[in-house]
Amino acid sequence: MTDKKIKKLIKRALEAVSAEIESVRDKPAQDVLFDGVLSENHPPGVFYYEFESKNTSLRFAEVIRAEMDGYDEEVELYPVEISDEKAILHFPHNFGPSLPKVSLEWENDFVLRRLRTELQKLLDNDNRQTREQMGRLFYPDAGKHHRADPDTRVLDDSKRNEAQHESLLKALQNEVLYVWGPPGTGKTSTLGFMIANYLIKGKRVLFAANTNRAVDVGLLSALEALTSVEKEHLEKQATRFGEIALDSERLEKILFDRHIEEKARKQERKAADLSNLLGRYQKLQKEIDNLMDYGESVPPELDEEIAKLGDRLDEHGGEAALEEKVDRLITVNERMELERMQLVGTTLAKVCTSDLFDGQEFDAVVIDEASMANLPYLMVLAAKATTHIVAVGDPMQLPPIALAEDAEARHFLEKDIFTYASKAESTEDLFAWHDQNRPLTTFFDTQYRLNKDLADVLSTVFYEGRLKTATGDEQPDEHLTTQSVPSPTVNVIDSQKYGPELTQKDEGRGFSPVNEVHTAILTRILKRLILKNHVPVEEIGIIVPFRSTVYDIRGALYEQGMDAVEVGTIHTFQGREKKVIIFDTVMSGEGAYGHRRHYSVRPFDEEKNGLAVPRLLNVALSRSKDRLVILADMDHINKVYARKFLGRLLHRFQEREA
């Protein structure tokens, strides 16, 4: 691994990110929000509307273009507050107490531009050591990056299984570690103990993930692990940098912004006290100077008082030094405060966009959801790790996404760190790499969450049968529960008997399929689940493969009074669960000139999308806690995907139902 080779990789990343920026500008991000409410709290002359929204990328929009029903002209909006649950937007006019529907469009290139800047700094850095730190993650060497030590000891809750315990040991022994954790295998709780053991050893840790929710979950796991091993005093050295997504008092207490606000209040009080001391001294000195100017004697009490004040000033280095100290106390040095923290939890984007991370280093960098992260982000993160870098994820779940028109750039950006490091082109390649590089990798082979009938299919199809379901006598992770719902818990609903037909909306925004029959079936399924089976609406999720279909279904559910049901793409549900998941494949034959035209689409066709197809399907099918419903036109599936991954998977589920 030479510096020349690493520089070549960084240059490739720079070219890919530049191509992505151009494509993002050409293809603005879009969303549709419903039921906006005029906020009572807003500055004079401006108007804030609050919407329910899970689209956190809005926070990086510099200007948002909006269209509203009943208004001919487009308006410009600005983000005020964006969280995982709501979006507050600045509108130029008062559009009334509520807004039923707003269509949004914006350029999402802010983070990418900052990422490009960080990569350029890494390339231009005179210190080769920083690039070598980065290179370990991309060019792992079991001989160099693993040092077996039989004396290594870790603290945990005594509930870790063999693979989980192995990962804790390797995290302390290795310079680089890849943790492969399928759904429900206890990744998050084990990661918490991994971070806790780093902290106990006195190491400074950066914990990062793609989303705020994943950061929150992982950070809470680390805090719970510290409590479990009776080291909760270390929690005082932890901070959550950025916006929290979960409603958690524990996270609120360690929020960096809150720490800065409290620090500022303390310093302001101290500055006020010192300023009063300085003011009293200067006022008294002026009185004494006036007396002396008129030849009058200074009363002993004044002389004694100013002597005492002078002594107190001398303790601070004198009058000039005290003035400088007051000036310093007025502003909190945020960089210094961040450097004092032993554990920092934040998103990948924040590390790139906040100047406070510039030049900061950590003994260990732990990245959750690493298999979802574009390689350029991981370059920036890995360069900050002086001793340990840990990538936690599942290369058989969601891959990174990219929009770049340039095929080479897109291919590079859609590679994840597991497939890049292993040079894998298939599941078989990934497992072969894992088997040949055991010092650097760990595979979590026991799952506790999914129903066994679903887990068995996923294990066979996605994990070479290596993923087993915990039995009743095995001690599961306390945060996971082995399901015992009667089989089958997977239902494939074949829509072909209802005569579905695909149409497309002509909106000039790419592929926008509409399947009205499927939408009607979805609403019937939902009514049955909610009214007859009494499933809470917040425990139902609808997953579709196309962003445009999300908006269509949301609109249809809004009209039916079921808009509280969450609808999203596969990426929306990564790392989350619902009691019931409905996966609508959407596709049917498209009517044209009296005939039905059947064709494949990229999300379902491995010939067009490679290893991303099984990864996307794996995520879609592993989000349910109790029941999975798959809506598919099996006539279309058999015509187009019979011998492909999707067809084989659906047929396997149908066989198990029968």
Query: Which segment of 221-225, 235-239, 311-315, 507-511 scores lowest on mean pLDDT?
Result: 507-511
Q: What confidence category does residue 28 fall into, taking pLDDT thresholds of 50, 70 and 90?
A: confident
* Tens digits of residue pLDDT in 283-340: 888 888 888 888 888 888 888 888 888 888 888 888 888 888 888 777 878 999 999 9
pLDDT value for 411 = 93
Q: What confidence category does residue 521 fall into, taking pLDDT thresholds of 50, 70 and 90?
A: very high
Contact, 332 vs 260, CB < 8 A? yes
pLDDT value for 484 = 47
pLDDT value for 70 = 83
Cis, peptide link before residue 486, omega less than 30° from 0: no
- Residue 5, pLDDT above cutoff 80: yes
* Tens digits of residue pLDDT in 527-580: 999 999 999 999 999 999 998 999 999 999 988 889 899 999 998 888 788 999
Where b means 16+ CB within 10 Å and e means fewer, 111-139 reads: bbebbbebbeebbeeeeeebbebbbbbbb
pLDDT value for 486 = 47
Q: What confidence category does residue 429 fall into, taking pLDDT thresholds of 50, 70 and 90?
A: very high
How far is residue 50's CA from residue 48's CA, in Å, rounded to a whole number?
7
pLDDT value for 473 = 58
How far is residue 202's CA from residue 200's CA, in Å, rounded to a whole number?
5
How far is residue 508's CA from residue 358's CA, in Å, rounded to a whole number?
41
Contact, 604 vs 613, CB < 8 A? yes
User: Shortest CA distance to 137 belongs to which of 346, 375, 315, 402?
Assistant: 375
- Residue 441, pLDDT above cutoff 50: yes
Q: What confidence category does residue 509 fall into, taking pLDDT thresholds of 50, 70 and 90?
A: low
Share of the chain above pLDDT 90, in %: 61
Q: What confidence category does residue 229 fall into, taking pLDDT thresholds of 50, 70 and 90?
A: very high
Structure tokens at 188: 């998050």
Please give the average per-residue pLDDT across 414-425, as a whole number: 94
Please give the average per-residue pLDDT across 212-229, as a whole number: 95
pLDDT value for 480 = 45
Structure tokens at 630: 């798959």
pLDDT value for 408 = 95
Contact, 161 vs 36, CB < 8 A? no
Q: What confidence category does residue 485 fall into, taking pLDDT thresholds of 50, 70 and 90?
A: very low
Averaged pLDDT score across all residues of the chain: 90
pLDDT value for 38 = 93
How far is residue 179's CA from residue 167's CA, in Å, rounded to a whole number?
7
pLDDT value for 474 = 60
How far is residue 284's CA from residue 306's CA, in Å, rounded to a whole number?
7
Element (H, E) at 349: helix 348-353
Contact, 522 vs 542, CB < 8 A? yes
